[in-house]
Structures are given as structure tokens and as C-alpha cells.
Amino acid sequence: MRVLIFLLILTLLPISPAWSWSKADTNREIIYQGLHLIDWGQTITIAQHPDCFCERNIFMGKHLSVATVNLYMGASAVIHLGLSTLVPKQYRSLWQWATIIGTGYVVARNHSLGIRINF
């Protein structure tokens, strides 16, 4: 739970003007992080029920532990925020929308398979 609170605080922190971070950039990042959090909870469900589900993310493996899920998902949330600040302003929207759409697809697919959020 501490990791989730930390990630939320990171997402809501004002970004340095040197990075040309706009309110729209912040809103897209919040949308992504929210979807990522849902995916995180669904992935925990997958880890807790290896007899019913298997993970399709090739970087995590088919059957994983909750600790692996927390490490991977926590790190990827922070990395996404970092990359979003580093992507040049003219491409940032494209980057963020692409990851929002991709994560949204995964969340919707998981939901359609009966995978619910579990924290």
C-alpha cells in the first residue's frame, strides 16, 4: 500500500517548468497511472490464482509471485512517469495516449476474462 501512495504522490507532484509539462500532460499521466493501478490489481489476482489464469506479459512469466508483480508494476509506474517527462513535448501526447490505449486494452481484456482487482 505504501508503494501505491508513493506512486500517487509522484503523479500529482508539480513537474518542473523546464520540462514544459502542461496540465494536459498531467491529466494524461493520471489516466495512465489509474489504468496501470487497475492492471496491477488484476495481475495480483492472476498471481494468486495460477490454476485459473496465466500472465501474458513476456517480461513477467506465466506464473509469478505477488512480490514479483509488486516489484515489476511499481517500477514500471515510476519508469512511465520518468519517460513521460523525458519525451520531447511534441511527442509526449502521442506517447501517453499510446500507453493509455494499450493499458486500457489489457484491463478490458482481463475484465472480460473474469479477472478482477485484488489488493
Percentage, residues of the chain above pLDDT 70: 84
What's the whole-number mean pLDDT along residues 53-82?
Answer: 87
pLDDT at residue number 17: 47
Check: CB of residue 44 under 8 Å from CB of residue 104: no
Question: What confidence tens digit (pLDDT) does each residue in 17-65 have?
Answer: 445 789 999 999 999 999 999 999 999 999 999 888 888 887 777 778 9
Do 110 and 40 meet the contact criterion of CB atoms below 8 Å apart?
no
- Beta carbons of 43 and 55 less than 8 angstroms apart: yes
Contact yes or no for 106/37 (Cβ under 8 A): no
* CA neighbor of 69 nearest in space, from 90, 52, 55, 88: 55
Mean pLDDT, the chain, rounded, equals: 86
pTM > 0.85: yes or no: no
